[in-house]
Chains A and B, each alone.
Chain A
């Protein structure tokens, strides 16, 4: 076999991952994914071993819950055949490998920079001299926005090529938020420091990323996570989804100048994040989840409060949605705006909401379950039009669904158990992969330990890593005035991407 088959949150010896020559790696993985929409690449990355680079590729099968892991060692100055030439979904992974290690490709269509990471191979590549795509024409004009945007939001630079109002092409330059996250995971030795880094990856996905990190760590330490801890995490994950989706519907209303919707959804987000504060002292869930424990365990009293909060939230949320989706002026801005087809989301390997909006059933809660999801009979919400309308609809239905999941969970609140757990040292020379369905989609953390059980390499992938390209495709041939509503309906992460 050219690969090893594992499952979500499983730890295996690094040596058990088959190491094949590069061309076999290429063929194996292309064969695994080609023509199968239920399979996609969840991570493909490299790290230094001596003066060589070890590549690790992880392909997930959404039907069988399996993850296929394979590897290969290559030289820095080697020029390789690219995966991308065969399948587009690998384009960004290979650009990253090229940026970090200088590995060249014969047939990669465009090796432009990903994030100008601190440890990039070619320091002459600066964020100020980004090679934007340009068209030479008297008919067309370019519009540049950012890095600092007009609202209170993270930085990125968007370059549009337009024909009058019509967008022909959008290029998204990221990397401004690069903080050296993956490096810090290695250099900070203390577990609390690492958990703090995890919760600072993306402030709107604190629970998602901290849960992924905790799962990696617990698995590395051979610790079986207690079900009451998973109970709290599952509730927190669904609450995070409710809060962000609601806030995002508010933002979409703002962008179509619908003041009532904007205010009402904005204020509806508040009781949910305030509940996080009641539970753990932080509105975004920071300080709540730690490897081996949750800082504040969930109990009956919290359950009663949560029921109250949801009982008040739900009718107001439903009422506002009924109004919003009956407004012709709103619908005319949503429908057929920012469409991405099923073929396109499949070929770029979109995940989460950005996949489900176009009929691609991709949801880690179902395909690679963790926590308490296998008990919840979770069925992903799927839409088919791939437009703003589908994205807003998905958010609405996912909020209702999350409320249902939470209510189900609240019927069986586990008795409190001790929150103090001493974890063993992580296993030596091991590899772990953890997938979590954050509200944006699939979060993937991978860790590798060395011969003394310390972290040798840590890899984080936010769903935005895949999905930014979906936004660029969505706005093609749309009016530039529709860009904000397209953008907000995705609400992708800059910091989660830039790392």
Chain B
């Protein structure tokens, strides 16, 4: 018993008191800022491994970006990554960061279905589907529930069966071999239900977008409630994204 108390004492305080405002230590590649500086745009766009950079004017699509940081390394005056980890959007276009824009990415409240706050505002149970994910987003989603991030305190939890879930979280580009299981899992989730895409691979296919071994037709059938960028998604990005999806809104 005494040993256990000692061990507990040695852990200190681990949990992050406020996951919406905490500062990430060290380097973090969050929301980018693109300066108006003139550069060779062709060269810049060519650098990007996933064609996330568009030209004139320069923009970065966070749904495609793997956050490798190469563009900011080579064109450091043009592109810099801030520590802003609130990267989620519920409209695909809002993931595109344009030149000269330095403002937070926010959810488009008109697109959030009315029932979401009402049904899931206090408790949201999610079923995670790894659809050819490389286990990095999966590890980070697990971490979202650990003693540091403690997502459970907001009533947001991952559950073991789609039958217990209010929605699904897909990671990975969706391989051909996972296309059917994804559909089965979605169908097994009771309505109303939400769909969250977590990570670059899930949102756009990422580096796998033109692989012949993937099949993303599932995503064409249903509206997506939340896009959470990252490679992998950071737990803070995920928690903040989901919190803003289920938050109470004016007029609700």
Contacts and interface: CB of A to CB of B under 8 A. Distances in A.
Interface of A: 116-118, 127-128, 147-148, 150-155, 175-180, 183-184, 187-188, 190, 192-193, 195-197, 200-204, 206, 247, 260, 263-264, 266-267, 270, 274, 277-284, 286-287, 295-296, 315-316, 319-320, 323, 493-495, 498
Contact of B139 (A195, A204, A316): A204
Interface in B37-77: 47, 49-50, 66-70, 73
B213 A281 contact: no
Contact of A320 (B7, B68, B128): B7
Interface residues of B, number: 67
Contact of A153 (B130, B136, B147): B130
A14 B212 CA distance: 29
B134 A203 contact: yes
Lowest 4 A-B CB distances belong to which pairs? A203-B136, A278-B26, A180-B213, A150-B160
Nearest to B230: A282
A316 B11 contact: yes
Q: Which of B136, B143, B180, B231 gathers the greatest number of chain A CB atoms within 10 Å?
A: B136
Given A281-B28, A295-B73, A180 B135 contact: no
B20 interface: no
Q: Which of B4, B24, B81, B178 gathers the greatest number of chain A CB atoms within 10 Å?
A: B178
A444 to B, nearest CB: 18
Interface string B175-192: 111101100010000000
Interface stretch (B100-108, B110-118, B203-211, B243-251): B203-211
B10 interface: yes
A495 B49 contact: no
B173 A179 contact: yes
A148 B177 contact: no
Nearest to A322: B3
B161 A177 contact: no
Given A179-B132, A316-B11, 4 more contacts: A184-B211, A200-B231, A286-B67, A295-B70
B177 A319 contact: no
10 contacts: A152-B138, A176-B175, A180-B212, A183-B213, A192-B47, A203-B137, A204-B135, A267-B14, A281-B67, A495-B134
B211 A179 contact: yes
Interface in B126-169: 128-143, 146-148, 158, 160-161
A179 B178 CA distance: 10
A178 B10 contact: no
Given A147-B178, A264-B11, A178 B146 contact: no
B49 A270 contact: no
Contact of A277 (B25, B68, B139, B158): B25
A154 B139 CA distance: 10
Contacts of B147: 263, 266-267
A286 B26 contact: no
A185 to B, nearest CB: 11
A3 to B, nearest CB: 33
Contact of B177 (A178, A201, A280, A282): A178
Contacts of A315: 10
B213 A277 contact: no
B27 interface: yes
Q: Which of B11, B24, B129, B134 gathers the greatest number of chain A CB atoms within 10 Å?
A: B134
B211 A127 contact: no
A274 B139 CA distance: 13
Nearest to B144: A152
B32 interface: no
A152 B142 CA distance: 6
A154 B24 CA distance: 28
B242 interface: no
B7 A260 contact: yes
Contacts of A152: 128, 130, 138, 141-142, 158
Contacts of B208: 179-180, 184, 200
Nearest to A115: B177
Interface in B195-250: 201, 206-208, 210-214, 231-232, 234
Q: Which of A179, A184, A274, A495 gathers the greatest number of chain B CB atoms within 10 Å?
A: A179
Nearest to B14: A267
A287 B178 CA distance: 27
B29 interface: yes
Nearest to A128: B180
Contact of A154 (B25, B68, B130, B161): B130
B160 A192 contact: no
Contacts of B67: 281-282, 286-287
Nearest to A192: B49
